[in-house]
C-alpha cells in the first residue's frame, strides 16, 4: 500500500547557491562602527590554490573548477572555512553541469560533515528527501524529511501531511496518524478547510489499527467537512453496531444523512423507513422510500412498493387526525403527548406545526427523551431555514443526552450541517 507524497514536486526546488565568491584576504570591519564579523580562517594550502579555482568558477569553466576542487579537498589540514567555500563551489559546479546524482551525494556529504549553516540544514534535507523519494529509497526519504522537519519552525499543514504519509508508507501508523492529525489541526487553526484525503488516510489507518473509537470520531469530522453518502454509510454502520441498532439513535442519524447527503444502499433506505414506521413517523418513511426509488437505489416494485403505499396511507390518516390530536395535546398536562403530536406533524411535512407542538411539549415538561425531542425540533427548524434556533435545539439535545452518548454525537453532526447551511465552518 502506498501513500503518495508531495516530495516529487519539490525535487531540486531549493537553491543551494552557497556563494561562489570568496575573499581570500582577511575581512575588514565596517566603517560604520559595527562589530567586525569573525575573520575566515583559511589554511595555507587553500590560500595557495583557491585563487586559480575561483577564477575557473567565475569563468564558469566547471570542468577545470571541479578538477581543482576535488584535488584541493584531498589536502590534509583544511579548515571549516576552507570546506565551506569548496563545497559551495563544488555544489554550484555539479548543479550547473547537470550531475544530479553527484550533486545530491555532495549535499549529503556536506551535511554529514557538519559544514552546513543552520539555515541550510532544513532546505538541504528537504532536497535530499525529494531525491531519495524519486529513487524509491523510502528509508532515506523518511530520514532526511524528518531532519528537514526537525530543523524547520512553523511547519505548514502540507509539510505535516507529507511527514504523515511517509510514516504510513514506512509502516509506522501511530506516527503517521499523529502527523496527519497535526496537519488537520494546523489547517483549522489557520482558518483553512482540512484536506479530505487526510481524513481518508486516517480512516484507513484506524481500520488497520483496529481502533474503532478514533475511527468513528474521524469519520464524524469527515462528514462534517465533506458530506457524502459513502462517508455517512460508514458512520451509520458504526452507530448501528455500537448501539445495537437503537431505534431513536438510528432514526435521527438516518434523518440527517438523507437530509445532508443522501443514503448509499437499499438496506439503509429500508432500515430508515422501518425505524420511522415503528416510531410513528409514516410520512417520513414514505419520503425516504420515495427518495430511494427516485435515486434508482431502491427497487420500486414488490414489497418495497407495498411498504411505500402502506406508509402513505398511514400518513394520510394521520394528517386527518392531527388537528384533533393537537387540541388534545394542548389540554393534556403531560408534554410527552404534545411531542408525539409534533412528530406526527413532522411526519406529514408540516414543519411549522411540528415546531409549535414540540415546543409546547418541552414547555409543559414531563418529556421522556429530551434529547430526541430537541433533535426533532431542530430538524423541523432546519426545514424552515431557522438555523440559529435549530443550532440552539441541537445544543439542548446534546446537553440532555446524558448516558446516551450517541444521541449527543448525532446532535453534533446536525450542528455541523447547520453551520454549513448557514455559511459557517464545520468543526470537529
pLDDT in tens, 161-209: 999 999 999 999 999 999 999 999 999 999 999 999 999 999 999 999 9
Q: Kindly report, residue by residue over 404-421, the tens digit of the pLDDT.
A: 799 999 999 999 999 999
Whether the pTM exceeds 0.85: the reply is yes
pLDDT at residue 3 tops 90: no
Look at residue 245 in the predicted model and tell me its pLDDT: 97
The dihedral sign for the CA sequence 91, 92, 95, 96: negative
Query: Domains of the chain (ranges plus CATH)?
Result: 1-18+44-150 (1.25.40)
Q: pLDDT per residue over 139-153, tens digit each?
A: 999 999 999 999 999
The pLDDT > 70 percentage for the chain reads 90
Residues 6+ apart with CB under 8 A from 420: 227, 426
Burial per residue of 82-106, b for 16 or more beta-carbon CB atoms within 10 angstroms, e otherwise: bbbbbbbbbbbbbbeeeeeebbbeb
- pLDDT confidence tier of residue 403, bands split at 50, 70 and 90: confident
> What's the pLDDT band for 6 if we cut at 50, 70, 90?
low
Residue 71 in this model has a pLDDT that exceeds 80: yes
* pLDDT classification of 15: cutoffs 50, 70, 90: very low
- Alpha helices per DSSP H over 365-428: 370-383, 387-400, 405-421
Instruction: List CB contacts of 255: < 8 A, sequence separation 6 or more.
Output: 272, 284, 379
All three cell numbers of 82, joined, read: 576552507
Q: Sorting pLDDT into bands at 50, 70 and 90, what band is 423?
A: confident
Tell which wins on pLDDT, 11 or 223: 223
Percent of the chain scoring above 90 in pLDDT: 88
Average pLDDT, rounded, for the chain: 91
pLDDT of residue 424: 57
Amino acid at each position: 500500500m502506498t501513500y503518495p507524497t508531495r516530495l516529487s514536486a519539490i525535487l531540486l526546488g531549493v537553491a543551494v547557491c552557497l556563494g561562489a565568491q570568496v575573499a581570500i584576504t582577511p575581512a575588514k570591519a565596517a566603517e560604520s562602527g559595527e562589530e567586525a564579523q569573525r575573520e575566515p580562517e583559511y589554511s595555507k594550502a587553500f590560500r595557495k590554490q583557491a585563487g586559480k579555482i575561483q577564477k575557473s568558477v567565475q569563468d564558469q569553466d566547471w570542468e577545470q573548477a571541479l578538477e581543482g576542487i576535488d584535488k584541493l579537498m584531498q589536502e590534509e589540514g583544511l579548515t571549516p572555512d576552507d570546506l565551506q567555500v569548496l563545497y559551495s563551489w563544488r555544489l554550484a559546479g555539479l548543479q550547473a553541469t547537470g550531475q544530479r546524482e553527484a550533486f545530491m551525494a555532495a549535499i549529503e556529504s556536506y551535511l554529514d560533515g557538519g559544514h552546513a549553516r543552520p539555515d541550510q540544514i532544513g532546505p538541504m534535507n528537504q532536497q535530499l528527501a525529494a531525491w531519495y523519494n524519486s529513487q524509491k529509497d523510502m528509508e532515506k526519504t523518511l530520514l532526511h524529511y524528518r531532519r528537514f522537519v526537525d530543523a524547520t519552525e512553523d511547519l505548514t499543514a502540507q509539510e505535516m501531511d507529507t511527514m504523515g504519509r511517509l510514516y504510513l508508507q514506512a509502516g509506522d501508523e501511530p506516527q503517521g496518524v499523529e502527523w496527519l492529525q497535526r496537519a488537520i489541526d494546523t489547517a483549522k487553526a489557520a482558518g483553512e478547510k482540512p484536506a479530505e484525503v487526510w481524513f481518508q488516510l486516517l480512516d484507513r489507518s484506524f481500520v488497520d489499527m483496529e481502533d474503532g473509537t478514533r475511527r468513528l470520531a474521524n469519520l464524524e469530522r469527515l462528514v462534517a467537512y465533506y458530506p457524502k453518502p459513502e462517508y455517512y454509510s460508514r458512520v451509520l454502520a458504526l452507530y448501528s453496531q455500537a448501539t445495537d441498532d437503537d431505534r431513536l439513535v438510528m432514526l435521527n442519524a438516518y434523518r440527517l444523512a438523507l437530509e445532508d447527503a443522501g443514503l448509499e444502499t437499499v438496506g439503509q433506505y429500508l432500515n430508515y423507513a422501518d425505524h420511522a414506521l415503528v416510531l410513528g413517523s409514516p410520512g417520513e418513511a414514505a419520503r425516504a422510500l420515495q427518495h430511494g426509488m427516485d435515486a434508482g437505489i431502491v427497487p420500486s416494485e414488490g414489497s418495497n412498493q407495498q411498504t411505500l403505499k402502506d406508509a402513505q396511507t398511514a400518513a394520510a390518516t394521520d394528517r386527518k387526525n392531527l388537528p384533533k390530536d393537537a387540541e388534545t395535546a394542548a389540554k393534556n398536562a403531560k408534554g410527552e403527548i404534545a411531542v408525539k403530536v409534533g412528530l406526527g406533524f413532522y411526519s406529514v411535512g408540516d414543519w411549522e406545526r411540528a415546531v409549535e407542538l414540540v415546543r409546547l411539549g418541552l414547555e409543559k415538561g414531563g418529556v421522556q427523551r429530551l434529547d430526541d425531542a430537541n433533535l426533532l425540533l431542530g430538524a423541523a427548524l432546519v426545514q424552515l431555514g431557522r438555523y440559529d434556533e435549530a443550532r440552539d435545539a441541537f445544543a439542548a439535545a446534546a446537553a440532555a443526552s446524558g448516558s446516551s452518548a450517541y444521541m449527543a454525537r448525532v446532535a453534533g453532526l446536525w450542528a455541523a450541517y447547520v453551520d454549513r447551511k448557514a455559511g459557517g465552518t464545520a468543526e470537529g
